[in-house]
């Protein structure tokens, strides 16, 4: 779960704008949806019952859903600024510190 939503966010890195268009349409039949698009980087949300292999089967080309922690530094360096910011935002939302802060009541 990330943030306030009861979904599992997975990162999908795509090669082209054409692949982005295909992916946007392809994920709905497997009970998933694109929550964020950062250039060619998509954040796809799915219930825990949707396996990564099931999601990968509908994505274009060799695209695979992955946890943000699995993205290597080499791949991160190749991202454009928009995609890099999106990946950083997902990384923050996926952190234990962020989830704990979101779950805690506001203290004054």
List pLDDT tens digits, range 91-103.
998 888 888 888 8
- Distance between CA atoms of residues 90 and 18, nearest Å: 23
**37 in Cβ contact with 21 (< 8 Å):** no
- What is the pTM (predicted TM-score) of this model? 0.80
Domain segments of the chain as ranges: 8-99
Q: In degrees, to the nearest 5, what angle opens at C-alpha 91 toward C-alphas 51 and 108? A: 120
Q: What percent of the chain shows pLDDT beyond 70?
A: 93
Q: Of all residues in the chain, what percent are helix, strand and coil, respectively (each to 5)? A: 45, 20, 35
- Diameter of the chain measured on Cα atoms: 50
| Residue 32 backbone phi and psi in degrees, to 5 | -130, 165
């Amino acid at each position: 779960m990330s943030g306030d939503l009861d979904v599992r966010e997975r990162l999908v890195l795509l090669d082209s704008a054409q692949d982005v268009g295909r992916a946007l349409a392809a994920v709905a039949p497997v009970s998933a949806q694109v929550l964020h698009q950062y250039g060619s980087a998509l954040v796809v949300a799915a219930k825990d019952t949707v396996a990564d292999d099931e999601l990968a089967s509908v994505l274009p080309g060799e695209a695979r859903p992955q946890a943000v922690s699995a993205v290597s530094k080499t791949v991160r360096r190749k991202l454009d600024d928009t995609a890099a910011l999106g990946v950083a935002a997902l990384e923050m939302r996926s952190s234990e510190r962020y989830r704990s802060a979101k779950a805690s009541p506001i203290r004054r």
